[in-house]
Amino acid sequence: MQLVLEKRAERSGTIALVSPLIAIGLTIVTMVILFAILGKNPLLALHAYFIAPLTDGYSLQEIAVKATPLVMIAIGLSLCYLANAWNIGAEGQFLIGAVAGSWIAVKTQGTDAGAWVLPAMLVLAAAAGALYALIPAICKVKFGASEILTSLMLVYVADLFLDYLVRGPWRDPHGFNFPTTAEFDPVATVPLLIEGGRLHLGSTIALLVVAAAAILLGRTIKGFEIRVVGAAPRAARFGGFNANQLIILTFAVSGALAGLAGIIEVAGPVGHLQPGISPGYGFTAIIVAFLGRLNPLGILVAGLFLALTFIGGEQAQIAMKIPLDVTKVFQGILLFYVLACDSLILYRFKLVFPNRKVVARGAG
Amino acid sequence: MRKSLLALAAGLLLAGSVSAASAADKLKVGFVYLGPIGDLGWTYQHDLGRQALVKELGDKIETTYLENVPEGPDSERAIEQLVRAGNKLIFTTSFGYMDPTLKVAKKYPNVHFEHATGYKRNPNMSTYSAKWYQGRYIQGLIAAKMSKSGVLGYIGSFPIPEVVSGINATILAAQTINPNIKVKIIWANTWFDPGKEADAAKALIDQGADVIMQHTDSPAAMQIASERGKLAFGQDSEMIQFGPKAQLTSIINNWGPYYIERVKAELAGTWKSEDTWGGLDSRMFTMAPYTNMPDDVKKMAEDAQAAITAGKLHPFKCPIVGQDGKPVECKGGAHLDDGQILGMNFYVKGIDDKLPGK
């Protein structure tokens, strides 16, 4: 008797819906075992991770703040991935956006410039992110260079460029040589939504982005084009869709969104430009995009869920002295189960009995 | 199914109330760490300090730490989470937590904060740091005696005053032994990245350096020096186990006494916002045993340590000539004053390199 994976004739719609739930269920079971091994009360630990952060306004705000850049970047990435364009460099586009927007903030510092500053910063950041993303896109279209490699390598370029600026020309003159710009003026800061909290206008922008992406993909011909080019490139060619044009377009949009997320993060929660403004948002967003199955609403949920694990992980560290590594293990296990369960959408398990002369395809 | 859900809910309620009751009468003290507690350097030493605190006052306090907290927007949240969990005294142990700590401190005036190595204070926010340049001076003397090539390798983290003053103290000391001593500097642009630190050490050795010193937090450079048969100084903690034949000495941070003192003040209700800058005399840091050197060098190091501890020797005693050849203004009389050292933004003469951003 053998257990084999057999390809389904078509995607299973039921499993596609149920699979994330199975994955979360399996994750929770694994974590309960892990907590028990660590000698922690599993119920309390799960409570600290998942329930406690949802029960007070402060934690809810923090979840929204943490999810904002993740969701914005992931939406852009999902457009790329749907069109079969592999932008891995959102982190770099995020940083370049942050740098470009900060340029206005730094140059207008202390000049009492008007209310135009912040909008200009947002626009410039989005434009810079888009231009930066166009580099790998054009290299791909013109020369056939792998966009995975070029976009990834440009992350390090952006990182070092930012580093150079805050250590050199943009360094806060009163900052004792520390690598940071001065705090941005109020006109160059993203306004808070709740007095005394940290929730800022960026979260609203992220929601608008989600809505726009949902409309684009669900209701427009462009959205249809993106999905067809990704899912059936040959059919798309016969349909007269230009795949190269779409690579350029989706890269530009995703770069713009990443750049916008970058300046919102810098002009929002951080308040100045410094190295290390992103704890890897551009890469985590790749996980968010796939966790949300490249669907705008799914991405919103996935972004909030991942943010919840960050905030909950911190509260578990505080309340139960659970090490940070467990939070990372937890995120890894979750992703592992999600991907594993997803394979059930396209495949199913089948028991094969050799004595009945069934040809076992792909068994081994 | 319903039964088990009910049981779960009841268990949670019960557990919640129990933990709230037991924690109520103890002072809660929080720590925010930059690295993992197992970095065997900076964070490890802070955690040793926390453990000393628990040993001394464990019946009156409860400590909590958050490790691996990046110096960005996440740190503000981490600090605030500790406040919201009821911590009344919070130590934030990296320079990059300065602005986030200040933001949270202004928001919660009834909670006390202690920020390591920064310069911004508030009525409820103290700062504390150590005069590591004193230890660097002793290392400079030893390095000049022990180097055959006359080239020292220095791994810097960030070109901030704390690090620049360490480089200057080293070279000023070394010049008293060998006026032609050279120092090669590599900026790792990180506090903790064993891979980068190891690469920097290799590059320095390849450039002819035979004594390696570092202002980064991991023992990676010590391991490389040990492999290549060179000498090195440890940083933050005892690193002799990574280079039994390589380590000359190490600057070992010793935060325990300070943490105990501040928590005692908090318990007694006498905590005030202060700026503490502890030298060798305060034992905020100590020197590891002088090893892998001849007796006369060891004696010289011990004498220098005794003289600095007693206040008879100041590493930045005047006259000091800057890299541009002009004498540095001497605001402290016979030596540079604390403000000049805390804001040090220049290289002294003899450093054949350019300060980044100058």
Residue A228 belongs to a domain = yes
Considering the domain architecture, whether residues A255 and A298 belong to the same structural domain is answered as yes
pLDDT, tens digit, 9 for 90 and up, residues B176-231: 999 999 999 999 988 888 999 999 999 999 999 999 999 998 899 999 999 999 99
Interface residue A269 vs chain B (CB under 8 A): yes
A156 lies in which domain range?
67-313
Reported ipTM: the value is 0.74
Is the confidence at residue B24, as pLDDT, over 80? no
Residue A360 belongs to a domain = yes
Assess contact for B313 and B169: CB atoms under 8 A: no
Tell me how far the alpha carbon of residue B127 is from its chain's centroid. Answer: 13
Assess contact for B117 and B125: CB atoms under 8 A: no
pLDDT, tens digit, 9 for 90 and up, residues A289-328: 988 889 999 999 999 998 998 888 888 888 888 888 888 8
pLDDT, tens digit, 9 for 90 and up, residues A269-296: 888 998 888 888 999 999 899 888 899 9
- Return the closest-CA partner of residue A275 out of A180, A182, A173: A180
Considering the domain architecture, whether residues A152 and A201 belong to the same structural domain is answered as yes
- Copy the structure tokens of residue A352: 């094969």
Considering the domain architecture, whether residues A36 and A84 belong to the same structural domain is answered as no
Considering the domain architecture, whether residues A247 and A122 belong to the same structural domain is answered as yes
CATH number of B132-252+286-342: 3.40.50.2300
DSSP class of residue A192 equals: B
Task: Please indicate whether residue B51 or residue A3 has the higher confidence score (pLDDT).
Answer: B51
Residue A47 belongs to a domain = no
**Residue A176 is part of a domain; what is its CATH number?**
1.10.3470
Chain-chain contact of A274 with B72 (C-beta, under 8 angstroms): yes
- Copy the structure tokens of residue B187: 């900026």
Top mean pLDDT of A11-15, A61-65, A257-261, B354-358 is at A257-261
Residue A110 belongs to a domain = yes
Considering the domain architecture, whether residues A171 and A192 belong to the same structural domain is answered as yes
Domain count, chain A: 2
Considering the domain architecture, whether residues A202 and A103 belong to the same structural domain is answered as yes
Whether omega before A169 lies within 30 degrees of 0, making that bond cis, reads: no
Q: Could you give the CA distance from residue B80 to residue B87 in angstroms, rounded to a whole number?
A: 10
Beta strand B89-92 with B112-116 is parallel
Residues of B in contact with A171 (CB under 8 A): 357
Considering the domain architecture, whether residues A156 and A8 belong to the same structural domain is answered as no
pLDDT, tens digit, 9 for 90 and up, residues A200-250: 999 999 999 999 999 999 999 999 999 888 888 888 888 888 889 999 999
* B81 three-class SS: helix
Considering the domain architecture, whether residues A208 and A350 belong to the same structural domain is answered as no
Considering the domain architecture, whether residues A330 and A201 belong to the same structural domain is answered as no
Assess contact for B166 and B132: CB atoms under 8 A: yes
Is the confidence at residue B297, as pLDDT, over 90? yes
Give the nearest partner residue to B72 out of A277, A317, A321, using CB atoms: A277
Measured CA to CA in angstroms, residue B24 lies from A43, A307, B28 at distances of: 22, 30, 9
Assess contact for A266 and A102: CB atoms under 8 A: yes
Residue extent(s) of CATH 3.40.50.2300 domains in chain B: 22-130, 132-252+286-342
The CA-to-CA distance between both ends of chain B, in Å, stands at 69
| A94 conformational bin, left if phi > 0, alpha if psi -120 to 50, beta if neither | alpha
Considering the domain architecture, whether residues A203 and A326 belong to the same structural domain is answered as no
Residue A55 belongs to a domain = no
DSSP letter string over A204-250? HHHHHHHHHHHHHHHH-HHHHHHHHHHH-HHHHHHTT--HHHHHHHH
CATH topology of domain B22-130: Rossmann fold (3.40.50)
Interface residue A57 vs chain B (CB under 8 A): no
**End of a domain among A271, A286, A313?**
A313
Confidence of residue B108 (pLDDT cuts 50, 70, 90): very high
Residues of B in contact with A277 (CB under 8 A): 72-73
Residues of A in contact with B51 (CB under 8 A): none
DSSP class of residue A322 equals: -
Tell me how far the alpha carbon of residue A30 is from its chain's centroid. Answer: 25
- Copy the structure tokens of residue A131: 């231009």
Under 8 Å CB-to-CB from B141, ≥6 apart: which residues? B173, B174, B176, B177, B300, B301, B304
Considering the domain architecture, whether residues A284 and A189 belong to the same structural domain is answered as yes
Residue A54 belongs to a domain = no
Please tell me the pTM assigned to this model.
Answer: 0.81
pLDDT value at position B358?
Answer: 61
Considering the domain architecture, whether residues A263 and A146 belong to the same structural domain is answered as yes
Per cent of chain A over pLDDT 70 is 97
Chain-chain contact of A167 with B70 (C-beta, under 8 angstroms): no
Residue A50 belongs to a domain = no
